[in-house]
């Protein structure tokens, strides 16, 4: 195995260049791959072998090993305790949010590319939320719709939009969906903010926003699984169609001004 010391800056949301290096190295480095395989076989709270033993096992220097451990610690996968050792840490959604944001930046995926992922997650969430009929998150969906309808503050309306979609994902009562809803919160917020900025150009934006979200709420509340999935499809397809219309109008205006 390579004894190369990994060279990159600390992982931070602002340091996307470093994130690219981290991801590329971990994809192609056999030491990192072996370390990841070891971590997968340990439960949260279990301790890794000592750095001395790991360095011998992987045939690398302890300096090179520490570089790789530091990356996993920065992602929230490991935790090093002074005088005690290195432990596997249960990955929480906050840690995964950073990892996903960095990975998405490194892979050059756009928010448009991720839109279909949102659609699929929320469609499944609507189905499961309808089956579970958990009253509290469904009530939060309705509260968000009421805020969209009554507030005159664009920022508050945008927050209500985000709150609605988060409540829907949590209404499914599925720990995996809830986990990824929290993990994708940064991406979801960016996606919604980008779309809201464009949709405000429509004269009936607020009325349409309320109608589409209210339709999803009522379908979930009704217990009709098919209707809930159709409401989600209608929600996303309507916004996609209107945004495409705005794009066409802007292209037409640009051509006319030339």
Cα angle value 107/112/114 (rounded, 5°): 60
- Residues 130, 153: Cα–Cα separation, whole Å: 31
Q: Count the helix, strand and coil residues of the chain and give each as a percent rounded to the nearest 5.
A: 75, 5, 20
Q: So where are the chain's domains? A: 16-92, 109-257
Provide the whole-model pTM.
Answer: 0.64
Among the residue ranges 101-105, 123-127, 178-182, the one predicted with the least confidence is 101-105
Find the length of the chain.
Answer: 258
If DSSP codes are grouped into helix, strand and coil, which group holds residue 79?
A: strand
Higher-confidence position of 36 and 109? 36
In this prediction, residue 256 carries a pLDDT of: 42
Give the integer Cα–Cα distance in Å for 89 and 44. 5
pLDDT at 175: 86
Q: Work out the average pLDDT over 144-160.
A: 93
Does 20 have pLDDT greater than 50?
Answer: no
What does the pLDDT read at residue 172?
94
Q: In terms of Cα–Cα distance, which of 119, 114, 116 is closest to 101?
A: 114
pLDDT value at position 19? Answer: 43
Coil, strand or helix at 87 = strand
Pick the closest to residue 137 from 126, 153, 123 (CA basis): 126
Q: Tens of pLDDT along 164-176?
A: 998 999 999 998 8
Fold of the CATH domain 16-92? Arc Repressor Mutant, subunit A (1.10.10)
Asked which of 51-60, 205-214, 248-257 is least confident by mean pLDDT, the reply is 248-257
pLDDT > 90: percent of the chain: 35
| Residue 50: φ, ψ to 5° | -65, 160
Q: How confident is the model at residue 180 (pLDDT cuts 50, 70, 90)?
A: confident
**Predicted local confidence at residue 252, as pLDDT:** 47
- Identify the three-state secondary structure at position 48: coil
Question: The domain at 109-257 falls in which architecture?
Answer: Up-down Bundle (1.20)
Higher pLDDT, 223 or 107: 223
Distance CA 135, CA 83 (A): 48
- In this prediction, residue 254 has a pLDDT band, given cuts at 50, 70 and 90, of very low
Residue whose entry in the numeric block shows the structure tokens 């790991």: 54
């Amino acid at each position: 195995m390579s004894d190369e010391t990994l060279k990159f800056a600390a992982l931070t949301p602002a340091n996307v260049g470093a994130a690219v290096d981290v991801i590329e190295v971990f994809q192609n480095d056999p030491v990192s791959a072996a370390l990841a395989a070891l971590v997968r076989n340990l439960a949260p709270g279990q301790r890794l072998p000592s750095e001395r033993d790991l360095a011998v096992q992987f045939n690398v220097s302890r300096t090179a090993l520490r570089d790789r451990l530091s990356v996993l610690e920065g992602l929230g996968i490991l935790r090093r305790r002074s005088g005690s050792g290195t432990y596997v840490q249960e990955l929480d959604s906050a840690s995964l949010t950073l990892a996903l944001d960095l990975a998405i930046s490194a892979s050059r995926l756009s928010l448009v590319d991720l839109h279909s992922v949102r659609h699929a997650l929320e469609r499944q969430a609507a189905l499961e939320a309808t089956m579970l009929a958990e009253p509290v998150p469904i009530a939060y969906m309705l509260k968000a719709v009421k805020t969209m309808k009554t507030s005159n503050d664009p920022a508050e309306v945008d927050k209500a939009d985000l709150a609605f979609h988060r409540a829907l994902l949590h209404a499914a009562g599925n720990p995996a969906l809830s986990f990824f809803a929290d993990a994708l919160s940064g991406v979801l917020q960016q996606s919604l903010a980008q779309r809201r900025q464009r949709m405000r150009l429509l004269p009936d934006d607020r009325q349409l926003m309320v109608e589409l979200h209210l339709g999803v709420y009522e379908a979930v509340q009704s217990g009709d699984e098919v209707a809930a999935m159709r409401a989600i499809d209608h929600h996303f397809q309507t916004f996609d169609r209107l945004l495409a219309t705005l794009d066409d109008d802007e292209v037409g205006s640009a051509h006319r001004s030339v």
